[in-house]
Amino acid sequence: MQVWEREEVQEVLWRREVKGQSGELSVPRRIPWLTTALALACAGVIVALALMMRARSRDARVAAKTKHAAEMVLLGNYGRAITDYDEALADRPGNVALLEVRATLKYAAGDLAGAQADCEAAIAGGSRGAWATRGAVKAMRGDLDGALADYAEAIKLNPADGAAWACRADALRLKGDFASALPAYDRAIELDPKPPRAWRGRSEVRFRTGNHEGAKTDAGEAISRNGTDPEAWFLRASATRALGDAKGALADCRKALEVAPRDWVKREDVEKWVESLEAEVGE
């Protein structure tokens, strides 16, 4: 994500017209006065240009740092990206937009304390975007009520923020409040149907509340958006098996194991389930 501030700097044209009154001032008296006036005018222009060039130089450094940070994020190097934002903030201390992004980077890197500190600094500066990030930090720390309060504030500030609705729905699901989570997922998907997160979350809620057909459909939507998510494949396998299709569930389980990292928390259980399904379908 590339973020930087742009200040529109206009050059100031300094015009001064000096009119002497020959009847009152002799030539020798007018020349020093004119010289002093021009000297002061030139000094003002020099100061204005120096300040303008300094601001442009600072903006260029910040733009370069945030651009490099975006490249580092694409490479998964969050530490280097955070350093870039540290340096950008040294040029623009307290800049809310920069604090918001650095908070997100710290959250992604697992620095929850640093992320929360940046969120709070951004919120103190009038941020509208840091509430949801702070909510995510609180959710990771197990403070689901605190997270829900922050998500509510984020939604209040921007009711059309689909990501904030998805975060709120996730927190409600983790609390076991499926009745409230379901409409929150509905709203998240209505506002922004592209991310797979809300589809996967709604799939789990529907599965847990007995809507296996809906759970299977939602899991399929999540898979179509991110085919490398083992949780989505596992959810569809679970819904498919609940609908009586052991062979379809077996195929989805195998795919989940194929795309999952070696340390996937469900790997051992799914491997055992695959053995059971193979025996059931005669493979």
Mean residue pLDDT of the chain comes to 85
Find the radius of gyration of the CA atoms of the chain: 30
Q: Token match 């179509």: residue?
A: 224
Residue with tokens 């922050």: 150
Residue 50 has pLDDT above 50, yes or no: yes
Amino acid (one-letter) located at 127: S
Given a cut of 70, is residue 241 above it in pLDDT?
A: yes
What share of the chain in percent tops pLDDT 70? 81
Eight-class DSSP state of 12: P
Q: How far is CA 109 from the centre of its chain?
A: 13
pLDDT in tens, 115-160: 999 999 999 999 998 999 999 999 999 999 999 999 999 999 999 9
Burial of 188 (0-12, 13-18, 19+ CB in 10 A): buried
256 neighbors 200 (Cβ within 8 angstroms): no
Query: Given this model, what pLDDT does residue 22 score?
Result: 37
Nearest to 258 by CA among 281, 240, 279, 232: 232
Residue written as token pair 């399904």: 277
Does residue 48 carry a pLDDT above 80?
no
More confident residue, 66 or 117: 117
Give me the pLDDT at residue 52, please.
Answer: 64
**Mean pLDDT throughout 192-204?**
97
